[in-house]
A and B are shown apart, each in its own frame.
Chain A
Amino acid sequence: MQRILILGGGVGGTLTANLLARKLHREIRRGDATVTVVDVTGRHTYQPGFMYIAMGGERAEKLTRSERGLLDSRVQLVIGEAVKIDESEQLVELADGQRLAYDQLVLATGSRILPEAIEHFDTEAHHFYSAKAAAKLRKALDGFKGGKVVVGIASMPYKCPPAPLEVIFLIESELRERGLREKSDIHYCSPIGRAFTIESVSEMATPILEDKGIELHTFFNVETIDPGRKVIGSLEGEELEYDLLVLVPPHKGQQFLMDSGIAPAPGGWLPTDRHTLLVGESKNVYALGDATDLPLSKAGSTAHFEAPVVAERIAAAVQRRDLSKKHAEYEGKVMCFFEIGDGKGTLLQFDYDHPPKPPKPNQLWHLGKIVFNKTYWHTVPKGRV
Chain B
Amino acid sequence: MTETSTPYAITRTIDARGSFCPGPLMELIRAIREASVGDVLAVYSSDKGSKVDIPKWVEKAGHRLIALETRDGYDELVVEKLR
Interface of A with B (CB < 8 Å)? 155-157, 191-193, 197, 219, 221, 223, 235-237, 266, 295
**Which of B3-11, B36-44, B55-63, B66-74 contacts its partner?**
B55-63
Chain B residues in 8 Å Cβ range of A155: 26, 30
> What's the Cα separation between A157 and B26 when bound, in Å?
9
> What's the Cα separation between A221 and B32 when bound, in Å?
12
Contact B83 A237 (CB under 8 A): yes
Contact A295 B33 (CB under 8 A): no
Chain B residue, CB-CB nearest to A296: B20
Contact B26 A236 (CB under 8 A): no
Q: List 15 A-B contacts (CB under 8 A).
A: A155-B26, A156-B26, A191-B22, A192-B26, A192-B57, A193-B52, A193-B57, A197-B22, A219-B61, A235-B29, A236-B62, A237-B61, A295-B19, A295-B20, A295-B23
Which listed residue (B23, B53, B62) contacts A193, Cβ 8 A? Answer: B53
Chain A residue, CB-CB nearest to B19: A295
Number of interface residues of B (CB under 8 A): 19
Contact A237 B62 (CB under 8 A): yes
Contact A193 B56 (CB under 8 A): yes
Contact A235 B33 (CB under 8 A): yes
Chain A CB within 8 A of B25 CB: yes
Chain B residues in 8 Å Cβ range of A192: 22, 25-26, 53, 57
Chain A residue, CB-CB nearest to B83: A237
Chain A residues in 8 Å Cβ range of B61: 219, 235-237
Chain A residues in 8 Å Cβ range of B62: 236-237
Chain B residues in 8 Å Cβ range of A197: 21-22
> What's the Cα separation between A23 and B19 when bound, in Å?
34
Top 9 A-B residue pairs of the complex, sorted by shortest distance between their CB atoms: A295-B20, A236-B61, A192-B22, A219-B60, A156-B26, A236-B60, A219-B57, A193-B53, A193-B56
Chain B's nearest CB lies how many Å from the CB of A36?
33
Chain A residue, CB-CB nearest to B47: A295
Chain B's nearest CB lies how many Å from the CB of A195?
12
Chain A residues in 8 Å Cβ range of B22: 156, 191-193, 197
Chain B residue, CB-CB nearest to A198: B21
> What's the Cα separation between A155 and B56 when bound, in Å?
18
Which listed residue (A219, A235, A295) contacts B32, Cβ 8 A? Answer: A235
> What's the Cα separation between A235 and B83 when bound, in Å?
10
A191 with B29: in contact, given A219-B57, A219-B61, A235-B61 (CB under 8 Å)?
yes
Chain A residues in 8 Å Cβ range of B26: 155-157, 191-192
Chain A's nearest CB lies how many Å from the CB of B63?
10
Chain A's nearest CB lies how many Å from the CB of B57?
5
Chain A residue, CB-CB nearest to B63: A236
> What's the Cα separation between A223 and B30 when bound, in Å?
11
Chain B residues in 8 Å Cβ range of A237: 61-62, 83
User: Given A219-B60, A221-B29, 9 other A-B contacts at CB below 8 A?
Assistant: A192-B53, A197-B22, A223-B33, A235-B61, A236-B57, A236-B61, A236-B62, A237-B62, A295-B23
Chain A's nearest CB lies how many Å from the CB of B10?
21
A219 with B56: in contact, given A192-B25, A237-B62 (CB under 8 Å)?
yes
Chain A's nearest CB lies how many Å from the CB of B26?
5
Chain B residue, CB-CB nearest to A190: B22
Chain B residues in 8 Å Cβ range of A236: 57, 60-62
Question: Counting chain A CB atoms within 10 Å of each CB, which of B23, B60, B62 scores highest?
Answer: B60
Chain A's nearest CB lies how many Å from the CB of B5?
28
Question: Counting chain B CB atoms within 10 Å of each CB, which of A197, A236, A266 scores highest?
Answer: A236
Question: Counting chain A CB atoms within 10 Å of each CB, which of B23, B26, B56 scores highest?
Answer: B26
> What's the Cα separation between A324 and B33 when bound, in Å?
46
> What's the Cα separation between A236 and B26 when bound, in Å?
13
Chain B residue, CB-CB nearest to A219: B60
Chain B's nearest CB lies how many Å from the CB of A37?
31
Chain A residues in 8 Å Cβ range of B57: 192-193, 219, 236
Chain A's nearest CB lies how many Å from the CB of B22?
4
